[in-house]
């Protein structure tokens, strides 16, 4: 098994999108990239902790390669809007790839460069590609939110 971590705006809909992919074993939503230990949703929403809302994915690379997860990541959000997805704004909604090894970093950088060169998006991609740091699991009521609430979710 391997781990991937992505921030693409509100984590509810992003988690649901990744959970549907064959080869994804488990998903969890949480916070990463900030300065406060054990942050709460309220802390992160203050936009003062530096954390992003993220989805951490456990996947089987023999069933789904990391590049396929990256392709899904670019499709589930607008990677050209800094600190904003739909009506949600703040650094916690930034577009970010937290890579877990050098191969993930190279794959993310190469795909970002390719998408920009091909003009897939009308504006340049602003997605951050940074080393994974401590993942803080979000409160239980956020986990599998779309699944628990019959498909209602935030904008993705």
Give the CA angle between residues 137, 144, 65 to the nearest 5°: 80
Q: Are 56 and 30 in contact (CB under 8 A)?
A: yes
In the set 2, 4, 8, 10, the catalytic residue is 10
Distance of CA 93 to the CA centre of its chain: 9
What tokens were used for 153?
């979710």
Q: What does the chain come to in residues?
A: 156
- In the residue annotation, 10 being an active-site residue is answered as yes
Q: Select from 30, 31, 37, 81 the least CA-distant residue to 51.
A: 31
Q: What is the rounded radius of gyration, in angstroms, for the C-alpha atoms of the chain?
A: 14
What tokens were used for 20?
């549907």
For tokens 């939503």, the residue is 29
Q: Which residues are catalytic?
A: 10
């Amino acid at each position: 098994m391997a781990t991937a971590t992505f921030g693409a705006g509100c984590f509810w809909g992003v988690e649901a999108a990744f959970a549907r992919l064959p080869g994804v074993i488990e998903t969890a939503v949480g916070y990463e990239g900030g300065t406060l230990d054990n942050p709460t949703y309220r802390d992160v929403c203050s936009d003062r902790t530096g954390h992003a809302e993220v989805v951490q994915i456990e996947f089987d690379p023999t069933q789904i390669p990391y590049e396929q997860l990256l392709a899904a990541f670019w499709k589930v959000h607008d990677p050209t809007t800094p600190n904003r997805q739909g009506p949600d704004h703040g650094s916690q909604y930034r577009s970010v790839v937290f890579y877990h090894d050098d191969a993930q970093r190279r794959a993310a950088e190469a795909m970002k460069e390719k998408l920009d060169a091909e003009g897939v998006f009308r504006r340049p991609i602003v997605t951050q590609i940074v080393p994974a740091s401590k993942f803080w699991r979000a409160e239980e009521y956020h986990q599998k939110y779309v699944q628990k609430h019959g498909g209602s979710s935030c904008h993705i």
